Structure 1
Amino acid sequence: MIPYGRQSLDDDDINAVVDTLKSDFLTQGSKIPAFELAIANYVTANHAVALSSATAALHIACLALELSETDIAWTVPLTFVASANAIRYCGATIDFVDINLDTGCICIDALAKKLQEAKESEKLPKLLIVVHYSGISCDMKAIAELCHPYQIKIIEDASHAIGGSYKNKPVGCCEYSDCTIFSFHPVKIITSGEGGMITTNNAPLAEKCQLLRSHGIHKNIKSMCNKNPEPWFYEQQSLGFNYRMSDIHAALGLSQLRKLKTSVHIRNQQAQQYKDALAHLPVKLLQVPERTYSSWHLFVIRIDPNQAINRSKLYQLLIDAGIGCQVHYIPVHTHPYYQELGFAWGDFPIAEQFYQNCISIPIFPALKKQQFVIKTLCDLL
């Protein structure tokens, strides 16, 4: 079975992990700050905070931005549930903004309309999580221009998008947001096994995130309430979590980061091959806006609903042919948990339309049988 996505590891990655396993520190050692610094430098952000997962990073970011049960926060329905769940972890009221059908990212017109309605009803959100779907950056400048007059905080969920760029600057530089979240799950652009990262240009925000990821404990004397501590002393000043990344994961992430540029270049070559080969088929492909460089975590096609083979049948035929595929995503608001909060089918029609016809086909640097995937799709469609 050809997977729709998978990790690409080499001997350098394996040796990096083995060297760490042989070292004195398996966690809370030097590899974590080294990985953080490398990511911050790559995306040209001032700070980076490593965590055990992107979900943990989303949760911590929301908490550090002081999202609470008295607040409202928005995200998009076309995303993995973690983007929305982070809002609910904080007890906040959640709502969604529909997407742009061509990119899969948040619709700027829908956001503008919803903000105007929220202002009139005095139900403006405190925070907005936007999602760079498939590796394509949202229009962050337009989003910031809409949100900043209302002092709405912005989190970029860039779990799909490390290595991409927007207006010739790296995704994660946080020029138009408070912070950015990356994922290092094995199917993502680079992997640390499991892991996530927050990048930000806000030093107090970075410090809050560092504190929250490690039980809310201070070990720095300057930050302690006790000004005459014993050498072993530490203080828990807030309720935090054990969301730390290990040195083992960070070592793998560091090694993978060295190959990020090459990996994204290969993905773009593969995406172009798909675009050229599938142009004559009854499918629609995602559109990458000008001055945006996608990292192509996913390659998503949307099936023409009027043709003989629908999405469900195509999915099964591809699986039968040994080609792994997936659907990204079931709209968050249609899951039972969110329906219990009052959401229903029909609430966000563009995301629902996208979901009903979309399918993700294989794309990853080690893909050797892309021509087989292309031929199979051409034969079937």
Structure 2
Amino acid sequence: MLQVSFIRQNREAVLERLAIKNFSQTELVDEVVSLDDERKRLQVEFDNTQARVNSASKEIGNLMKQGQKEQAETLKSEVASLKTGIDPLKLKMAEVEKSLLDKLLQIPNLPAKEVPKGKTPEDNVVVREGGIKPTLEEGAVPHWELTTKLKLIDFELGTKITGSGFPVYTGKGAKLQRALVQYFLDFNTAAGYLEYLPPFMVNEESAYGTGQLPDKEGQMYHATADNFYMIPTAEVPVTNVYRDTILKEDDLPIKMTAYSPCFRREAGSYGKDVRGLNRLHQFEKVEIIQIVHPEKSYEVLDGMVSHVEKLLQSLELPYRILRLCGGDMSFTSAITYDFEVYSAAQDRWLEVSSVSNFENFQTNRLKCRFKDASGKTQLTHSLNGSSLALPRIVAALLENNQAGEGIMLPQVLHTYFGAEWIL
């Protein structure tokens, strides 16, 4: 959530950056300023009224001690009249503050100056590519055929048990999932990230804190009995570890990693691009999150991008890194780098990670702050990235490494999986 003071002091710059994100409701900016003016006016009126009540109450006591009952009674009438106006004033202040918050929650984070203009994925900028695209043998097939042939995943069984988008991993397919999760976590903890195993459901306050509410209700599964939300990513519960917290400057940076299943309704997703593992309602992912000093967040962002890139290189997958254009970024992000791996059997790029800097957009909601060397309290910056999402990694590993009667796994997975091949 943007800070009102920043909007007031930088109105033109805010409008300029919102245009990069193709945000059309720019009238909200002036509405926020107008409501903040009204809030301040009401606060002054309330403070002056309360001060007059307090002053008159003391004066009444003095007058009574001096025997000036008539003057005291006159003041009592004035105080009574002032008090009758305080409650309506409080109600009006609460109404204005709620309207102000509602308007603020509708304004997305501002894109960083490095974010390119554009509206669609075609406008994203390829930063760099790595790895070698494989040449497959004749007769190579996409992963949904491979997983059936090798009895790794049963999509039909998942549909029977729950519905489409909920695959059942079996045998070596389940073992490969477990091996990847363990490898990703070990890779992250070796880089200094502290591992968490968070709850897989969160309350409204947590979903609000990281920006899922009120923006993405339609994409989350909602357990209405207890008003909990199934998490779309471990970013939500793990970032909320530091909600309503004041840290010491020496505590920063805070580096966290977590495995979790992820639940997304993916409403409106149909067609060939969602076949097999390409788009699921439940999938596994390992996440990295950092809470950092605001002056260090872009340096940290570069480090997180490099970390994910090295992880992909270790899996020997061809990849590319894209800087997302304004129109393709999330509501909460200031800048995002997407990682895609090349799927040879499908002849297309598959997104497997997003690494984002939210600056203080999330931490303002979370009230995650720190005290600097001078004792001043400041908002931290938050960042997160997928390290990595499993479904499309599995799809690319299977498709790109199919040979003869099996799948040749990259060397880093041999120990974790317990074999070099899936036969």
Q: TM exceeds 0.5?
A: no
TM-score (norm 2): 0.22
Structure with the higher fraction of residues in helix conformation: 2
Higher strand share: 2
Rg: which structure is higher? 2
The TM-score, its normalising length taken from structure 1, stands at 0.23
Structure with bigger RCO (C-alpha 8 Å, 6+ apart): 1
